[in-house]
Amino acid sequence: MKTIVCKTYEEMSTRAAEIVADVMKANPSCVLGLATGSTPVGMYKKLIDMNRAGEIDFSAVTTVNLDEYYPISPENDQSYRYFMNDNLFNHVNIDKTKTFVPDGTAADPHEACAAYEALVKRVGPADIQVLGIGQNGHIGFNEPDSALEVETHVTGLTESTIKANARFFASIEDVPTQALTMGIGTILSAKKIIILANGAAKAEAVKKMLAGKLDTSCPASMLNLHSDVTVICDEVAMD
């Protein structure tokens, strides 16, 4: 895996945005695989600025997001659909009908996952997939386990993830305990992957990811199977 170690979060966000922008310039009707969480927010801000400056055009772009809580409504300000609208889609010239997030309201979540997997195959593969990393090494909501899922699936969230994500909710009881997420195979189907990590809380997960082993206790280590992955992190996360 290629690594870019940056001095600041600002620099990380710029480097990540430049890589995404290059993909968009090379192919204006590209498919972007997008992620939520606090880490990519700075990158989205840069992409919005570039779009406003006329440097990049979202009008023909399709997006597929990694994951969504379950159950959750898109109007809930903690849903990943709401996050994407709020942090990117509402501020750029994208056609929202071409933006996809797993359906947190589906009556049958397993059916919704199968439909999402088919959709990613139909519109994809993503030209670039943006990832964050959980403190426990999760990517999307692929949590550490003895075996990892290949395709989009329903998953329970680990206690550590529920705790880590509670900061965004009114109380820990409000954090959904389940999610719909792309599987490891879905993520690896992207042509290019960038994974962003900043802060000391991510250092252990980053170390395990880069240890050169396929370790299901660190789902991000599966990225070693891909030939075009760039890790963009700050010095603390790379410690």
Give the active site residues.
67, 136, 138, 143
Please give the Cα distance from 140 to 187 (Å, whole number): 9
Q: 63 phi and psi, to 5 degrees? A: -125, 145
Q: Kindly indicate which of the ranges 3-11, 29-37, 184-192, 215-223 contains the residues binding ligand GLP, using the contact rule CB under 6 A.
A: 29-37
Q: Is 66 helix (H, G, I), strand (E, B) or coil?
A: coil
Near ligand GLP by CB under 6 A: residue from 42, 102, 109, 132? 132
Q: Judged by CB, which is closer to ligand GLP: 8, or 38?
A: 38
How many CB atoms neighbour CB 134 within 10 A?
Answer: 26
Closest CA to 20 of 80, 51, 38: 51
Report DSSP state, residue 179.
Answer: E
Q: 103: which 2 tokens?
A: 């359906």
Q: How far is the CB of 23 from ligand GLP (least distance, A)?
A: 19
Q: For the chain, where are the alpha helices, taking DSSP H only?
A: 9-26, 41-52, 80-87, 109-123, 159-165, 184-188, 203-209
* 36 sits near ligand GLP (criterion: CB under 6 A): yes
Size of residue set near ligand GLP by CB under 6 A: 14
Near ligand GLP by CB under 6 A: residue from 67, 103, 117, 234? 67
* 189 sits near ligand GLP (criterion: CB under 6 A): no
* 70 sits near ligand GLP (criterion: CB under 6 A): no
* 66 sits near ligand GLP (criterion: CB under 6 A): yes
Near ligand GLP by CB under 6 A: residue from 38, 59, 73, 93? 38
Q: How far is the CB of 65 from ligand GLP (least distance, A)?
A: 9
Amino acid at site 136: N
Q: How far is the CB of 53 from ligand GLP (least distance, A)?
A: 26
Q: How far is the CB of 38 from ligand GLP (least distance, A)?
A: 4
**Do residues 45 and 36 touch, judged by C-beta distance below 8 A?**
no
